[in-house]
Structure 1
Amino acid sequence: MAFRAASLARSLTGQFSRTHRHLPLRAFSRSSIIHDNLVSDAVQTGEASPPKKRTRTKKIKVEEVKPIDDAAAGVVQTGDQNEVTPPQEESPTKAAAAPIDDLVAQAVQIDNHLAEKPIAPGRGRKKVEPEEIEEGTVELPPLSEWSRYFPSSFAVKTRASIMNQEHAKKVAEAFVPAGSKGKVIVEAFPGPGVLTRALLNLPKSRIKKIIVLEDEERYLSYLRPLEAFDPRVTVLPLSGFLWDTYEEISVKGLLSDITKEDWSIEHPRLQFISHIPSKVHGEQLVSQFFRSIPDQQWFFKFGRVPFSLIMTESLWERVSAPLGGSARCKLSVIAEATSHFDYAIDPSCLKPYKQNFHPAHMPSPPEFVAINVMPLLEQWIEKGLLDEWDYCLRRLFVQKAQPLKKCIPQLAPGALSVLNKIADTNLPLEERVARRQAPRKMTPREWRNLVNAFVEWPFKPADLSIDFNMITTKQSNRLE
């Protein structure tokens, strides 16, 4: 409609000079249109001579003039002096031009993008600050208002939390199923706490205590009231990404009633639950969980503690990548060598993203899955050999599709002798690794055979944090 109005204005008005036609509409301002009107009036009254016909187009300098009201009052600048004329009655022709002048001004305003843009639905609404939330509020705000109560920010831009209450109930039931008794749950990255509330709504005999780890103030406003509502809840304003947070849990004595169980049994009481942030930080965190199992660090100092995660589908594909798959990586091998894992619920229950997770308008939102993880009874990675596994995996996955006979030199100069030892046909089949085997097709058993031979090799690098063909030292990211 604005385009039609602008076209009509350009076709009807005769006030633009020939020079103006060679300039884009964007060059015109309201003052230039007024100036043309003044010149036209002066010509009609004989106070100025009509402009001569020009053969060449020259640039016009647009000067500021007084408003049209002053010109109507009789002040017209001609030459070097101001001549005051008595006010005259507005002619019918000039009065008729006023609506056209308005249309022209409107067209210029639209073309110069001066008109206000309409506010999209949901935008422009006032954000709710944490201090504005009514103290002791246990109920979450309506989903339609979540963008106001929990606006996106840099601190949580890679975090998604489940908001579909019905599906959160299914996840809670799958994480802490029937038969569980007196569980102590440590929950990290809960967001506003939809899953936390679903866990609390399970039969009370299943869960004795929930320790919630969250450092985002907007989320804490809806988590802290749960402490007063249910004595089983303890909320700590700490990040689940920091190792010091888990030390703080022990210092506060929140796990004083947890006993260390023999590795031969699944720990019946302690369990870890978390939403995993997307992007690289989430993968680093999951990697640390699996890497803590062989040496029984972190919560695994209490025994074979199960943990349940909500992670992106792409991260799950890397964790669970099969032998020979294109997604097979170092994380895949460590996970398979330390744990058994599977879907907690049908992954279709958590799709699509916008109907199940907050923030609903995340750009290029990933899909999420819920999984349960249990450490293996028999670990493929022996205690104290995690650094050797790290080194061999890191070096050989550089050429993960190549046969070992071609990529084994990546370990160190002369490492072909390591392969000769484990490829000996006189060895039992379970202790042998084929020369043609590619790193991405190797089983945990074959990786164990290779790493053990590397450990016994007298010429292995003394410092595994230094690559033999690199000058700089690579610092280990492992959290001790």
Structure 2
Amino acid sequence: MPPRPRLPPLPPSSKWSTHFPARYLPVSPDKNTIRKTFGRVLVTNPSLADKFVRAMGIREGEVIVENYAGVGGLTRSLLSGGDAVGEAKKWIESQSSVEGGSGESSPKTKTAKSFPRWIDDIAPSGNGAKKSNAQPVTAEQPESTDITLVRPKLVLASEGSAELITRAYDYPASSLTPSVKFTIQEQLKGNLINSDLTGTTYHAVPVAQSSHDPSLLLSHSTVYIWPTLPALLSDPLVSPHLEVYDPAAPPGPQATKRPWDAEPPKITMVCQVPDSPIGEQLVAQWVGSAVGDLGQERTWVWQWGRVRMALLVGKSLYDRIMAKPGDLIHCKLSILSQALFDITPLPPYHHVRNVDKQSKITTDRPVKPSSKVPKSSIPPVGLPPSNPLQIPVDLPKTTTYPTDFFPLPKTATSGPLPRPTLLGLMMTPKRESPILASQKDAWDYVMRRLFVRDTLTLGEGFSNLSFGAASLLPIIESETDEYRGIPVDRRRVVRELEVEEWARIVDVFDKWPFKPDNLILDSSNNEEFSREVGQD
């Protein structure tokens, strides 16, 4: 029986800058209309990638859409279900048997465009020997492989850099995104995206079958463009692999979509998020787009139900998502993420309680309450049962090294990093959340305004919402069933407010007849609209 087709292992991380120059990382599918994505960081260590994938808990029949796939280090772990290290050994052994079994040299002859072009860096060392220079393991050794690994049904790797996807995946040049634009109306014919985007334009989203692994599809595209993910899931090469939810619907993407309260689909969105303001804006948009009510028709990937997201993010973004009330870095993103998603840390681990705003400290710090009064103990009104974020006390700290990431992080030592450059998160949308779709803009407005000075008490900062807003404080403090959430004492400090308290503040403000007519703060610019993020 012939060996299963598989991608060749990547070269040692010391060779990445030779075969995959860092200058290709920010490149977009079209330099004229899509801005570059700076701050990209990739995991180079296959052992580290395997730990991340195993902790994800891949389910039977899983379809994984990997965004910002880079050169495929994480892709190889995903395809193997978390055994990229073992797959690399099998690939090398198969090459050794080809060389040693017939007494002939390897059939691969390196040319300028051969694949893999790094063959000399991973080739067996002659005469069927199994020694190789393939990517070494530099972090902690992988866990025992005695556990049963589950391979996904399909992995779709999306990468915006034409040079990287061609070099790293052997992507066919004929499938590269053309420099032409397709109108939204043309895409609507295939029921790929929502009609509320009519009039805007974006690039076609190509999908091609990998010639090296039957479970791998490739796409020269970027999630920087908002409709990309729905288009990928609706592609004729992807849609047949998705579980059919509505057998009565016509065959195709529509039959695979499901309501929010259905069982979550076996779809996972994976991303090595750029460690930059662009990456943070993307995640904030993904989080905010999950707002909705039961029975409401959803948009974006949420048309397929509660799609989970497995993310590798920079320290600053991780800390803001995971910050708890009272933490120095607690913010609007913390509240929205924890209100809308069940969040679990994934490897690499290194959670720091009450971290500083620059995410520089590496050890826990105690939280010193500033409010003169505690949170109200009255049961909340009109909210689903809460499931607060829980961080395991015994959560380990993963040891990583500069060579575990590409480009190399700026550090003065080659020893262990004080904290991993990227940290893992699994974010699964909650069935019910305390944020009503009709109040989404109100939540955004109130939190932005109050977090401008988060060390003030509610009473001190409330006038920042609008002229005359202070008159609402007695209502917010009252024990009434007329408003959602729980009463909030005006002496409570903004940074320490919990989601039940925010629900009361927002509900009272939203029902105020004199609230501002326009609650959408003018924090956007032309670049925001050009990249289409947020059109949900």
Please say whether Structure 1 and Structure 2 have the same fold, judged by a TM-score greater than 0.5.
Answer: yes
The change in CA–CA distance for 1:264 and 1:358 in structure 2 (over 3 A counts) is same
Question: Is 1:270 aligned to residue 272 of structure 2?
Answer: no
1:165 maps to which residue? Answer: 46
2:239 maps to which residue? Answer: 255
1:142 maps to which residue? Answer: 12
Letter of the 2:274 counterpart: P
SS at match of 1:192: coil
2:478 maps to which residue? Answer: 424
**Size of the alignment, in residue pairs?**
340
1:57 maps to which residue? Answer: none
Q: CA RMSD in A?
A: 2.9
Q: Which of 450, 455, 460 is matched with 1:396 structurally?
A: 450
Question: Is 1:280 aligned to residue 280 of structure 2?
Answer: no
2:501 maps to which residue? Answer: 446
Question: Is 1:174 aligned to residue 119 of structure 2?
Answer: no
Deviation per CA, 1:158-213: give whole Å up to 9, x if none.
11111101121111111234xx1101111001211111111111289641111111
Letter of the 1:383 counterpart: A
User: In 2, are the aligned partners of 1:164 and 1:357 still within 8 Å (CA)?
Assistant: yes
Deviation per CA, 1:36-75: give whole Å up to 9, x if none.
xxxxxxxxxxxxxxxxxxxxxxxxxxxxxxxxxxxxxxxx
User: In 2, are the aligned partners of 1:137 and 1:222 still within 8 Å (CA)?
Assistant: no
Write the distance in 2 (CA, Å) between the matches of 1:413 and 1:384.
Answer: 23
1:436 maps to which residue? Answer: 491
Deviation per CA, 1:311-350: give whole Å up to 9, x if none.
1122111111111111011111111111111212351575
User: In 1, are the aligned partners of 2:67 and 2:159 still within 8 Å (CA)?
Assistant: yes
User: In 1, are the aligned partners of 2:24 and 2:163 still within 8 Å (CA)?
Assistant: no
The alpha carbon displacement at 1:305 in A equals 1.5
The change in CA–CA distance for 1:206 and 1:266 in structure 2 (over 3 A counts) is farther
TM-score by length of 1: 0.65
Q: Which of 344, 351, 376 is matched with 2:430 structurally?
A: 376
Write the distance in 2 (CA, Å) between the matches of 1:479 and 1:411.
Answer: 25
Letter of the 1:447 counterpart: W
Letter of the 2:312 counterpart: I
The change in CA–CA distance for 1:333 and 1:185 in structure 2 (over 3 A counts) is same
Q: How is 1:67-146 mapped onto 2 (pairs within 5 angstroms)?
A: 138-146=8-16
SS at match of 1:228: coil
Letter of the 1:192 counterpart: V
User: In 1, are the aligned partners of 2:78 and 2:151 still within 8 Å (CA)?
Assistant: no
Letter of the 2:475 counterpart: K
The change in CA–CA distance for 1:339 and 1:388 in structure 2 (over 3 A counts) is same
Question: Is 1:358 aligned to residue 406 of structure 2?
Answer: yes
Write the distance in 2 (CA, Å) between the matches of 1:241 and 1:474.
Answer: 12
SS at match of 2:443: helix
Write the distance in 2 (CA, Å) between the matches of 1:478 and 1:350.
Answer: 34
The change in CA–CA distance for 1:452 and 1:461 in structure 2 (over 3 A counts) is same
The alpha carbon displacement at 1:265 in A equals 4.8
User: In 2, are the aligned partners of 1:353 and 1:368 still within 8 Å (CA)?
Assistant: no
Q: How is 1:210-221 mapped onto 2 (pairs within 5 angstroms)?
A: 210-220=155-165, 221=167
Q: Which of 240, 243, 248 is matched with 2:226 structurally?
A: 243
Write the distance in 1 (CA, Å) between the matches of 2:12 and 2:53.
Answer: 21
Write the distance in 2 (CA, Å) between the matches of 1:168 and 1:350.
Answer: 12
Moved more, 165-174 or 238-247: 238-247
1:461 maps to which residue? Answer: 516
Write the distance in 1 (CA, Å) between the matches of 2:439 and 2:60.
Answer: 35
Write the distance in 2 (CA, Å) between the matches of 1:376 and 1:433.
Answer: 25
Higher relative contact order (CA 8 A, sep 6+): 2
TM-score by length of 2: 0.58
1:316 maps to which residue? Answer: 318
The change in CA–CA distance for 1:198 and 1:284 in structure 2 (over 3 A counts) is same
Letter of the 1:235 counterpart: L
The alpha carbon displacement at 1:307 in A equals 0.9
User: In 1, are the aligned partners of 2:405 and 2:421 still within 8 Å (CA)?
Assistant: no
SS at match of 2:271: strand
Write the distance in 2 (CA, Å) between the matches of 1:237 and 1:244.
Answer: 14
2:330 maps to which residue? Answer: 328
The alpha carbon displacement at 1:155 in A equals 4.6
**Of Structure 1 and Structure 2, which has the larger fraction of its residues in helix?**
1
1:289 maps to which residue? Answer: 286
1:478 maps to which residue? Answer: 534
Task: Show structure 1 runs of 5+ residues with no match.
Answer: 1-135
User: In 1, are the aligned partners of 2:13 and 2:403 still within 8 Å (CA)?
Assistant: no
Which has more radius of gyration? 1
The change in CA–CA distance for 1:479 and 1:155 in structure 2 (over 3 A counts) is farther
Letter of the 1:360 counterpart: L
Share of identical aligned residues, percent? 29
The change in CA–CA distance for 1:430 and 1:306 in structure 2 (over 3 A counts) is same
SS at match of 2:519: coil
SS at match of 1:171: helix
Write the distance in 2 (CA, Å) between the matches of 1:204 and 1:218.
Answer: 32
SS at match of 1:299: helix
Deviation per CA, 1:346-399: give whole Å up to 9, x if none.
515754341311122557997211111111222011123211111111111112
SS at match of 1:248: helix
Q: Which of 65, 68, 71 is matched with 1:192 structurally?
A: 71
Write the distance in 2 (CA, Å) between the matches of 1:184 and 1:159.
Answer: 24
Task: Show structure 2 runs of 5+ residues with no match.
Answer: 1-5, 27-37, 82-147, 172-208, 244-255, 293-297, 351-396
Write the distance in 2 (CA, Å) between the matches of 1:154 and 1:421.
Answer: 56
SS at match of 2:424: strand
User: In 2, are the aligned partners of 1:465 and 1:473 still within 8 Å (CA)?
Assistant: no
The change in CA–CA distance for 1:475 and 1:420 in structure 2 (over 3 A counts) is farther
